[in-house]
Amino acid sequence: MSHPTADLFTTLQGALEPHYRLERELGRGGMGVVFLATDTALDRRVAIKVVHPELAAHPSIVRRFLAEARTIAKVRHPSIVAVHAAGAADGLLYYVMDEVAGESLRQRLVREGRLDPLEVGRILADLAAALDAAGRAGVVHRDVKPENVLLEEGTGRAMLADFGIARAMAIETGDVSTGQGVAVGTPSYMSPEQAAGEEVDRRSDIYALGVVAYEMLAGHPPFQGSNRVVVSRHIAERPVPIDKARSDCPRPLAAAVMRALEKQPADRWQSGEELRQALAGERVIPPRRRGRRGLVAAAVIALAAVGTSVGLVGRSNGPPAGVNPRHSMLILPFDNLRDDRSAEWIREGSVSMLGLNLSQWNDLTVVDHERMHDLMAQHDLKPGQDVGLETARRLARDAGVWTVVLGDFTQAGDSLHLVARVYDVSSGARVEIARVDDRAAEDVRPLFDQLASKLLDLSGAPNEVQIGLARSTTQSLAAYRAYLTGVEQLNRWDLAGAERELSRAVAIDSAFGLAYYKLALTRGWLVGTEDSVADRAIVRATAHSANLPAHDRTVISAYRAFIGGEHADARDLYQQLLSRDPADADAWYGLGETWFHDTTGVNQAPARTQALRAFRRTLTLDPDYTLAYDHVQHMLASAAGARPHYALVAPDSFALATGADGRMLLDSAALSGAVRRARTEALSTARTWVASQPATLRAHGAMVEAYVASGNFTAAFAEVDRFRQTSPVHPELPFVEARIRFASGDVGRAAAQLRSALDTVAPQDFRPYQGAPTVVYDIAAAANVFAYQGDLTNAAKALDLADQVRREVVHHHKPDGSSASDESWRRVALGELYAAVGGPAASLRQVWQSAAEAGRMAPSDKRTHLAHSGAPAAIGLFTGPAGDSTAISEYRAITGDSLSKEVRALLALNRGDSTGARRALAEPDTTDKKPWMYATYRRPLAAQAYYLLGDYRTTLRVLQDFEPATLRTGGFDSRWGMIGRVRLLRGAAYEQLGRRAEARVEYQQVLAQWGGADTTLQPFVRQAEQGLARLGEG
């Protein structure tokens, strides 16, 4: 029933008399109107809130409203407005609560703008206590905001009202939902998980209370703008620290508020009582975890209670018993006392030069250059900023070492004056001063050799330890300086810049082993492990590493074993590094890589489990380790699909979910729980990544991927909008938006947006993304949409653009001067596209002939790699309508590779050997999986073989769930092009089994999908039409 607003007072009075007598309206809001009334039976003043009639008109809303009111009525606390009764009368929903004389917090803020910090602390403590009482009763408010906070006249007590009303009204209105995917509440006060439409608990209310506290102090909420912008910023951005927005805010209060505003629920106050205790000085406020690549998360600086100073908590006074404090050392950048710009490189170089020399003694642990940078970033120390002794001691403690070196240098003419002051970390006492004064000419490194020798003497190193930077690195100062610059750029994640400088270093000195290692590492991070530049670089790094410290030699050997596919050996070496330093984030990452890329065995779930644990350990030590996030998100996204091959059965464990024959190995309940878990973990990890690196494209891409996997397309679009605001030029975003539309099922609009993007962008538009190859995947994903539609022209156009952009963003010069931009990537992509859809044969033949010719003309060590790029085309020529096995024969002759059992079965059938085909299909799964021959084609080709053998039931079982919902939209996945042929094959199998209705559905789907496809695919369309005709449909 609908009531005009003017009649609401009269209608409500009629419904509630004689029990209540309405007097006047007290206020109104988005949910309803509040009236002052008298409870006639008890002769007391009450407030009655009536829900806007238009919100209460939906089915089942009465049941939900009353259920919420009953729950809330059980919660009794001095700072919660008590609910006495609730009901429905004449189509109106209402509840009766205490009258609170006074005003709302919103009215107070409108009048005063912002409040005194002492007043804020008192109000916050009242509301924290209220939320604690509600949380213990299992009640989540979901809409904590100033409008729902009442300030009692006389006492000033803060009271929370309207518990559960937003939740009660949400599910039927269509605007908000209590389920996953849509948010409930007021955008400006939503927690990140609430804004993302996820399940929430009492920690979500803690976040909202933090927003209210921020507004009371600053005069505005932490984020402002349109609802969509505010929601996305809550999800992804950290607010400006409140003590910067309000300089007179006491530090403990500021720390308590900012902890309430942590993005991850686990990082906030876990209850209202914890927050109340912190405000009362009864609980220490731990620090927020921060860091850059390589950051050690062992920081234990804590804010003491209200009214006390910041101090060190939980520190031991010195090293453990039996540990020599001079056997572990942190060197900080030397001060350039005269600010001589020509010598500024020595400031950062001092850490590397001393560290490499000191590390020659195996008994001395030296914090390396990269880790030192991360420690400084953790403490918000900028490059070039002076570091005092107390800060230096704190950095050393965080690194787990007991000696710290502070130094300076002065250059005068051709002379250099070096001073190193050595301090004991536990006491702060100066242990020694080491000085070197000498003529340096151009190369200052010999002077640092002398200084290192004095520091080694102090540490008790034996005389036979050999040092000398020129001996262990390079004789060329120019090469060494290029190396230092490359390492600095690598630390800033400027991969393109790092590659350029490191390539210059090895071009100057072709025996510079350490530079070769960093170049191989950079190439691996930039383009992956199968890279000829990285292969050559790591071989040369090994050859020229004899004079490096043992630690560096082990690092190089481990990486060489890894990119050479010797994963077990690489694991042993990384474990050696970790046994010496368990906080070595790079070693943990390397260990994770060895598990992640080890495809030995049919069931890789144990390896994936070990990889996930190692990468997460990396992120615990270094919350900004980009590639660790990349790998974790890849595994979680794979497990978040509707039918994952590997399921996340526990937060840190995978299990094989799908057998080789397509059978599910987990029951439906276990699989459903694993998928939900993967989606939740993916969102949580992506949110942490974005908060840590808000300007990183890859982080936002992971967030979009996580939202798409969970079906929250609205949040995915909001994430794109938020990232677009960071810079006016983002040529990749139309491709990302189209991918979201495609995943949501809006294929037509996705294709239209992509056609427009392909017509308007140019490869050079992506030059700002040098060193960021993920933009290549975003563009290549456009081919999924066109392949699904059968638009091969635009699919190939998208892959061509992706290839051209790849050459722009992953551009480099090989040491031999040849171009890195070979055709292999393009051949693989086009071969997979045309093989998936079944033609055209001429295009497949052209791709194969290009690969074969390149392989035949290449040196023997490159021949097989180049031929592999034509493998998809060779398979497509045989398995498509052409049925031409010539290319497969040529492929085997060039490479000597064996073929997958599915391809061998089809070859046997082509010869008329059904027995051989059955024998091949019955073989156990190989442990030698070749990515260029195997994964993409396995199930469709096996199904094709079973169909030709007349085993139609197995055909259907193998193709079970080969549907769009099980495929990923990120990156190019040629299976999208296979969907049409798979549906046609399923339709034929159903028809052979007499299951006419199911066959009809499959044929109709082929027509709907490929009705407007290229002429190459029209034979498949005609087969579907003929199938429908046989089933009695014209």
Q: pLDDT tens for residues 176-224?
A: 333 333 445 688 999 988 887 777 889 999 999 999 999 999 999 999 8
Structure tokens at 663: 């059978």
Both tokens of 433, joined, read 């001063």
The verdict on 242 and 114 lying in the same domain is yes
Looking at the fold, whether 43 and 157 belong to one and the same domain comes out as no
- The tokens describing 94, both together, are 């209402």
Q: Which residues of 816-835 are buried (b: 16+ CB within 10 A; e: fewer)?
A: eeeebbbebbbbbbbbbbbb
Domain of 999 in residue numbering reads as 936-1034
Mind listing the pLDDT tens digit for each residue in 162-179?
A: 875 655 555 444 333 333
> Taking 80 as the threshold, does the pLDDT of residue 293 lie above it?
no
CATH code of the domain covering residue 19:
3.30.200.20
- SS3 state of residue 28: strand
Do 259 and 117 fall within a single domain?
yes
Q: What is the pLDDT of residue 164?
A: 59
Which among 562, 639, 561, 573 has a CA at the least distance from the CA of 604? 639
At residue 373, does pLDDT exceed 60?
yes
Which of 47, 82, 98 is at the close of a domain? Answer: 98
Short-list 61, 68, 67, 70, CA closest to 92: 61
- Distance CA(137)–CA(626), nearest Å, equals 41
pLDDT score at 742: 96
Across the range 435-463, mean pLDDT stands at: 89
Q: Evaluate whether residue 332 is within a structural domain.
A: no
| Domain assignment of residue 316, yes or no | no
Does residue 793 fall inside a structural domain? no
Is residue 76 predicted with pLDDT exceeding 80?
yes
User: CA nearest 617: which of 625, 1033, 314, 506?
Assistant: 625
Is there a single domain that holds both residue 94 and residue 73?
yes
Mean pLDDT over each residue of the chain, to the nearest integer? 85
Mean pLDDT value of segment 466-481: 91
Alpha-carbon span 445 to 459, nearest angstrom: 21
Is residue 674 helix, strand or coil?
helix
Ordered alpha helix ranges (H), 858-926: 860-868, 871-879, 886-895, 901-910, 914-921
Q: Is the same domain home to 151 and 252? A: yes
| H or E element that contains 551 | helix 550-563
Same domain, 217 and 72: no
The secondary structure of residue 711, as a DSSP letter, is: T
* 328-331/403-412 β-pairing: parallel
What is the predicted pLDDT for the residue at 661?
66
Which domain-ending residue is among 285, 300, 323?
A: 285
CB 888 within 8 A of CB 907: yes
Residues paired with residue 301 on neighbouring β-strands, in sequence order: 312
831 membership: H or E segment, kind and range: helix 824-837
Buried b (16+ CB within 10 A) or exposed e, 168-200: bbbbbeeebbbebebbbbbbbbbbbbbbbbbeb
Amino acid at 352: S
Residue 807 burial (10 A CB sphere; 0-12, 13-18, 19+): middle
Does residue 18 lie in a domain region? yes
What per-residue confidence (pLDDT) applies to 294?
34
Q: How far is the C-alpha of 22 from the C-alpha of 658, rounded, in Å?
A: 65
Position 13 scores a pLDDT of: 86
Q: What is the pLDDT of residue 992?
A: 96
69 and 131 fall within a common domain = no
- Same domain? 59 vs 198: no
- pLDDT at residue number 660: 67
**Cβ neighbours for 402, distance < 8 A, ≥ 6 positions apart:** 318, 319, 323, 325, 326, 327, 328, 396, 424, 425, 426
Read off φ and ψ for residue 162, nearest 5 degrees. 65, 35
How wide is the angle at C-alpha 751 spanned by C-alphas 747 and 757, nearest 5°?
145
List alpha helices for 182-250, DSSP H. 192-195, 202-218, 227-236, 242-245
- Write down the pLDDT at residue 931: 44
Average pLDDT over residues 242-247: 89
User: Which DSSP category does 405 fall into?
Assistant: E
For 546, list phi and psi in degrees, rounded to 5. -60, -35
Token duo for residue 927 = 């442990």
d(CA 478, CA 349): 13
In this structure, is residue 233 part of a structural domain? yes
What spatial distance separates the first Cα and last Cα of the chain, rounded to whole Å?
50
Q: Are 113 and 94 contained in the same domain?
A: no
Name residue, tokens 């995917």.
181
Q: In the chain, how many domains are there? A: 3
**What's the rounded Cα separation, in Å, for the pair 286 and 142?**
26
* Residue 935 pLDDT: 56
C-alpha to C-alpha distance for 562 and 558, rounded to whole angstroms: 6
Three-state SS string across 606-638, please? HHHHHHHHHHHHHHHHCCCCHHHHHHHHHHHHH
- Whether 641 shows a pLDDT value over 50: the answer reads yes
Contacts with 909 (C-beta within 8 Å, 6 or more apart), sequence order: 917, 945, 948, 949
Contact 205, 124 (CB under 8 A): no
pLDDT at res. 180: 39
735, 697 in Cβ contact below 8 A?
Answer: no
pLDDT digits (tens, 9 = 90+) for 875-918: 999 999 989 999 999 999 998 888 889 999 999 999 999 999 99
Q: How confident is the model at residue 26 (pLDDT cuts 50, 70, 90)?
A: confident
Q: What confidence tens digit (pLDDT) does each residue in 794-847 have?
A: 999 999 999 999 888 875 444 443 443 478 889 999 999 999 999 899 999 999
CB atoms within 10 A of CB 385: 11
φ, ψ of residue 491 in degrees (nearest 5): -65, -30
Amino acid at 528: G
Q: Cα Rg for the chain, rounded, in angstroms?
A: 33
d(CA 788, CA 768) in angstroms, rounded, equals: 31
| DSSP secondary structure string for all residues of 460-514 | T--TT----HHHHT-S-HHHHHHHHHHHHHHHTT-HHHHHHHHHHHHHH-TT-HH
With CA atoms as reference, report the closest residue to 984 among 1010, 965, 958, 961.
1010
Contact 583, 621 (CB under 8 A): yes
The full DSSP string for 314-356 is S--SSSPTT--GGGEEEEPPPEETT--GGGTHHHHHHHHHHHH
Q: How large is the average pLDDT for residues 93-102? A: 88
Name the token pair of 174: 């269509």
For 42, the token pair is: 């008890």
For residue 255, give the CATH number of its domain: 1.10.510.10
CA 464 to chain centre: 48
The mean per-residue pLDDT over the stretch 267-286 comes to 83
Tell me, yes or no, if the pTM score tops 0.85.
no
- Report the amino acid identity of residue 214: Y
- Determine whether 897 is an active site residue: no
Residue 244: per-residue pLDDT: 87
What confidence category does residue 58 fall into, taking pLDDT thresholds of 50, 70 and 90? low
Beta bridge partners of 94: 50, 87
For 755-786, the pLDDT digits (tens) are 999 999 999 998 887 767 788 989 999 999 99
Q: Is residue 213 part of a domain?
A: yes
Out of 143, 368, 449, 584, the active site residue is: 143
pLDDT at 15: 82
Q: What local confidence, expressed as pLDDT, does residue 970 receive?
A: 85
Please identify, among 228, 260, 285, the residue that sits at the C-terminal boundary of a domain: 285
| φ/ψ (deg, to 5) at 1001 | -60, -45
Say how far apart CA 323 and CA 426 lie, in whole Å: 13
The strand pairing partners of 4, in sequence order, are: none
What are the residues whose beta carbons fall under 8 Å from the beta carbon of 154, sequence distance 6 or more? 101, 102
213/110 same-domain check: yes
* Whether the Cβ atoms of residue 706 and residue 683 lie closer than 8 Å to each other: yes
Task: Give helix 697-709 / helix 733-744 axis angle, nearest 10°.
Answer: 10
Is residue 236 a contact partner of residue 719, using CB atoms and an 8 Å limit? Answer: yes
- Which residues lie across from 655 on neighbouring strands? 647
Tell me the CATH number at 962. 1.25.40.10
How far is residue 718's CA from residue 231's CA, in Å, rounded to a whole number? 8
Question: Quick check: bond before 840 cis, omega within 30?
Answer: yes
- 129 belongs to a structural domain: yes
**How far is it, in rounded angstroms, from Cα 253 to Cα 268?**
14
Q: 273 and 154, same structural domain?
A: yes
What pLDDT is stored for residue 538 in this prediction? Answer: 93
| Residue 679 is assigned to a structural domain of this protein | no
Residue 284: predicted pLDDT: 59
Do 20 and 145 share a domain, yes or no? Answer: no
Residue 662 corresponds to which amino acid?
G
